[in-house]
Amino acid sequence: MIPFIHIGPIELPTFGLMVAAAMIAAYYVLRADLARRGIAPKNSSTAEVMIVVPSLAGIVGAKLYHVLETPRELFAHPAEELLSRYGLAWFGGLIAGFIAWVLVARAKKIALLESFDAGSAAAALGYGIGRIGCLLSGDGDYGVPTSLPWGMSFPNGLVPTTERVHPTPIYELIAACAIAWVLWRMGAWQIAAATPTLAEEARMEHPEKPLPSGSVFAAYLVMTGAARFLVEFIRINPRSFFGLTNAQAASVASMIAGAALWWRVSRKS
């Protein structure tokens, strides 16, 4: 594994580089989705703002959530824990990023549910690419020991292991790409059904009811929650709530919220 890339005196963390790559990939997907929905043209700065602000907020939220999970260590070494380059919690990033997204969408006068739909595929893809940073750095996000032929060891990782373990970041990347593709296709169906010139074609391809605003985001919450819930069974994270990891408890909340949102928007359509 390659936790850091050294260029002369400069030390670049591979995790940070992959987070930057994730932001760039998410930006292009979001820009395309905003444009096809007629929310913002590709030459506007809307996509940049809607990626950068929530992403930075998400990093801060992920760090704070991580250190608050172990308050004893935080109080014992506050500066070290807060300023460490390691330790980010997905759920904390989700909460902070969500709040920042809402604020930006309101500032840009974009309907919230429509903005959530537009950002869902981008968020799924960005998450998957970011997980490769965990793989490259070997930061302990790998799985339990396995005898499968694609098992990997991380002897030089930030959290080293010489055992062959499940490369769970790769599993999450594959799942995230599949989810992003499904969400993109759902968005295309949603847009076509709302466009007079395409509505008849959309009805022929999908004779069931058109997807209302918020349904793509609801699917995102359910699918990403389910993917994270399942992969946690082979991760090395400690158990807490009813034998579940913190991430699994958050995933259950995500799935419930997604199902509730789907039910609500479906009733209104």
All residues at 6 or more sequence positions from 210 whose CB lies less than 8 Å from its CB, including other chains: 189, 190, 193, 194, 202, 203, 269
More confident residue, 243 or 241: 243
Residue 199 has pLDDT above 60, yes or no: no
State the average pLDDT over residues 115-128: 95
Predicted pLDDT at 163? 94
pLDDT tens-digit profile of 15-65?
A: 889 989 999 999 999 999 999 999 999 999 999 999 999 988 988 888 787
Question: 5 pairs with which residues across the strands?
Answer: 12
The pLDDT confidence band at residue 81, using thresholds 50, 70 and 90, is low
Residue 75 has pLDDT above 90, yes or no: no
- Helix, strand, or coil here: 124? helix
- Helix, strand, or coil here: 39? coil
Predicted pLDDT at 195? 66
- Return d(Cα 187, Cα 159) in angstroms, integer: 39
Nearest to 223 by CA among 192, 181, 193, 187: 181
State the average pLDDT over residues 93-103: 89
Residue 73 has pLDDT above 80, yes or no: no
Q: What angle do CA 118, 123, 124 make, to 5 degrees?
A: 110
Predicted pLDDT at 93? 80
- Helix, strand, or coil here: 208? coil
pTM of the complete model: 0.86
Q: What mean pLDDT, rounded, does the chain reach?
A: 86
pLDDT tens-digit profile of 221-233?
A: 999 999 999 999 9
More confident residue, 84 or 208: 84
State the average pLDDT over residues 55-76: 75
Predicted pLDDT at 162? 93
Residue 107 has pLDDT above 70, yes or no: yes
The pLDDT confidence band at residue 83, using thresholds 50, 70 and 90, is low
State the average pLDDT over residues 174-196: 89
In terms of phi and psi (left: phi > 0; alpha: psi -120 to 50; beta: otherwise), the region of 238 is beta
Residue 8 has pLDDT above 50, yes or no: yes
- Return d(Cα 22, Cα 6) in angstroms, integer: 21
DSSP string, 139-190: -S--BSB--STT-EEETTSSS-EEEEE--HHHHHHHHHHHHHHHHHHHHHHH
